[in-house]
Amino acid sequence: MLSMNLKKLFHNLDGKFVNFKDYKVEGIVENSKEVKRNYIFIALKGTKTEGKKYVNEAVKNGAICIVTDERIKNINATQFITKDPIKTMHKILQRFYGKPDFRIIGVTGTNGKSTIANLLSFVFDKMGIKNGVIGTLSSRIGEKVIYRGYTTPPATHLYRIFREMREEKIKYLFMEVTSHGLEQRRIEDIELDGLIYTGITRDHLDFHKTMENYYQAKKKAFNLLKKTSPAIINMENLYGKRVFNEIKNLNKKSYGFYLENLDYRIFIRYLSSEGMGVKIEYKGEIEEFETKLIGKFNAYNICASFAMLKELGFKEKEFVKYLAEFKGIAGRLEEIKNNLGIKIYIDYAHTPDALRACFETLKGLLPSRIISVFGAGGNRDKEKRPMMGRIAGEFADIIILTNDNPRYEDPMKIIEDILSGIPEGEKSKVKIEPDRKKAIEMAIKLADKGDIVLIAGKGHESYMEIKGKKIPFSDKEVVKEILEKK
C-alpha cells in the first residue's frame, strides 16, 4: 500500500498547516464519499457545489488532512491552507503517485477524439508497442479497463490511472482532452508529447455559455504541449484555422481536404458501405490505402492519425496496413448487421455538426430512404435542438423524435424544441414516440429493403438518465432484441 508522511508530501509548497500532525497519508481524493482512513481531502469549488460543505463528512470517513483556501473551524483534522488548492493538489498527487514516465498524446476537439485515440491505440497494439487510452469509452490498457466515468477524469483519479499504467510499463498513452477537463484544471500539470486538434463546433454551451469561452478552454491544451512536440491541427475548421494562426513557437502541422499548402491532405477515392479508399499527400509523398471506416469525418480522423504517426517518427510501412484494418469503435456509426435487407447504424451524434456528418455519409451510400431516430439531452444546450431538427428535415425521409437522457426536463418539451426547427414543409415526415425502445422498433418496422435506419444520440451509452437515475438502456441491445423477434 502506498503511504507518505504529510511533511514530506507538502515540503516547500505555498501554504501553511493548521493543527499539524505528521500523519501517514494513504490516499488523496476530492470527493468526500471516496475518503477512507488516513486520506487527504481536497476541498475544491465545483460547478454546482462547494467542497468545504463536505469537510465534516470527509473527516467522519477518515480524512486526516484537509486542503482548503481558508481555515475551517471546529474540525478534528490537520488543515493545509493555500491560495490555490488545485495547484497544491497537482503537486501532492505527483509526489504521492509519481509522474508519468511514458509519452502522452492528447486529442482534443468537439468530434473525433474517441475514434482517433482508439485508432492510434489499435495501431500501436499491432506494432507491438504497449500503450493505454484515457477517454469516453474507458481508461484502459489493452483489454484491461481501469476506469469508467469522465472522459478526462478528475486529477485524483487521473494520477491513480497513471500509476497503474506506469506499473504496466506502457510506452504511450492516448488521451482525450476535454474542454471541461481543461477549464476545471484537471490536467494542467501534465506535459503532452503530441496533440491533435480536430476543431470545434457547437457543444457544451450549457457549461461554457459562448463559443468564444469554449474556444479559449480548448486552446489551453496547447499550453501543455512540449515545445518540440507535434501539434496536428484541422485547418478546415474555423477554430482550427484560428488556433493555428494564434499559437506561436510550436511544431505545428496542418491537415484537411481542400486548402492549399496543407502539410497532410486526404482524398476519398471511393465510398461504400464496407469502407472507403483514401489517398494522403504529404511532404511530396503519396500514400493510398483502403479503410474499413466510412465518411468524410472519418477521413479527417485517419488523416490526423497518419500525420501524428509520421511526426512521431514512424515509417509508413510500419503502420499503414494497421490503419487499414481498424474497424471503428462502439457507437460511432456502428452497423448492426441483419438479414432484412436494410442497414441499421447507431451513432453517438448529439450535436448539429455530428448529426449532419452522419447524414452526409449515409446519403453517400445511396439508400432508398433514410429513417432517423433521435432526441436531445435534457438540462443541456437548448439552442442546438432546433438546429438538429432542421438538419434531420434536410436529410431524412422519415424522422422519429424520441427520448434521449431527459435528466430533469420534460421529454415532450425537448421533442417540441427539436420539432420547432423542422421546416413546415418537412413536418409531414415526423413521427413522435417518446418511448425510445418503441421508436427504434417503429423505425425498423417502417424500413424496406434498401433503406438505412440511423439511431443517433446515445451510441455506446448503456443507460438512460432520468431524474437523477441512470436506468439501463442500450440502443445496440434494443436493436438486437427487435431483430431476434423478427
Chain segment 402-413, per-residue pLDDT in tens: 999 999 999 999
Q: What is the per-residue pLDDT for 48?
A: 67
Which of 272, 290, 325 represents a domain boundary (last residue)? Answer: 325
SS3 label, residue 366: coil
Domain end point (choices 308, 325, 342): 325
Q: What is the pLDDT of residue 481?
A: 97
Instruction: Say if residue 298 is in the same domain as residue 384.
Output: no
Residues 310 and 352 in one domain: no
Classify 41 as helix, strand or coil: strand
What DSSP string describes 56-71? Answer: HHHHHTTEEEEEESS-
Q: Are residues 370 and 423 in the same domain?
A: yes
> Could you tell me the CATH number of the domain that includes residue 17?
3.40.1390.10
In this structure, the answer to whether residues 125 and 212 fall within a common structural domain is: yes
The CA-based dihedral angle spanning residues 189, 192, 196, 199, taken in that order and rounded to the nearest 10 degrees: 20
pLDDT of 47 reads 61
Cβ(386)–Cβ(418) below 8 Å: yes
> What are the angstrom distances between the C-alpha of 140 and each of 129, 134, 145, 320, 414?
15, 7, 4, 24, 35
Write out the residue range of the structural domain in which residue 347 sits.
334-485
Helix 352-363 and helix 384-395: axis angle, to 10°?
10
List all residues 6 or more positions away from 88 whose beta carbon is below 8 Å from its beta carbon: 10, 13, 14, 15, 42, 67, 80, 82
Handedness of CA 283, 284, 290, 295 (dihedral sign): positive
Residues 278 and 359 in one domain: no
What Cα–Cα distance (Å) separates residue 47 from each residue in 126, 183, 406? Answer: 41, 11, 20
317 vs 210: CA distance, rounded Å = 44
Residue identified by cell 425537448 is 414
Domain holding 232: CATH number? 3.40.1190.10
The confidence score (pLDDT) of residue 27 equals: 97
Let me know whether 112 and 251 are in one domain: yes
Q: CA-CA-CA-CA torsion for 92, 97, 103, 105, nearest 10 degrees?
A: -70
Q: Are residues 88 and 125 in the same domain?
A: no
Name the domain boundary from 296, 325, 354.
325
* pTM (2 d.p.): 0.94
Of the candidates 254, 246, 187, which has an alpha carbon nearest to the alpha carbon of residue 221?
A: 187
Question: Could you tell me if 430 and 385 lie in one domain?
Answer: yes
* CATH number of the domain residue 359 falls in: 3.90.190.20
Same-domain check for residues 197 and 118: yes
Tell me how crowded residue 56 is: count the other CB atoms within 10 A of its CB.
16
Report the DSSP beta bridge partners of residue 1. none
Spans of the chain below 50 pLDDT: none
Virtual CA dihedral for 64, 68, 71, 72, nearest 10 degrees? -60
| For the chain, counts of helices (H) and of strands (E) | 16, 26
Domain count, the chain: 3
Q: Is 316 helix (H, G, I), strand (E, B) or coil?
A: helix
* pLDDT score recorded for residue 45: 81
Q: Are 357 and 111 in contact (CB under 8 A)?
A: yes
Q: Is 283 exposed, middle or buried (0-12, 13-18, 19+ CB in 10 A)?
A: exposed
- 3-state DSSP of 125-177: HHCCCCEEEECCCCEEECCEEEECCCCCCCHHHHHHHHHHHHHCCCCEEEEEC
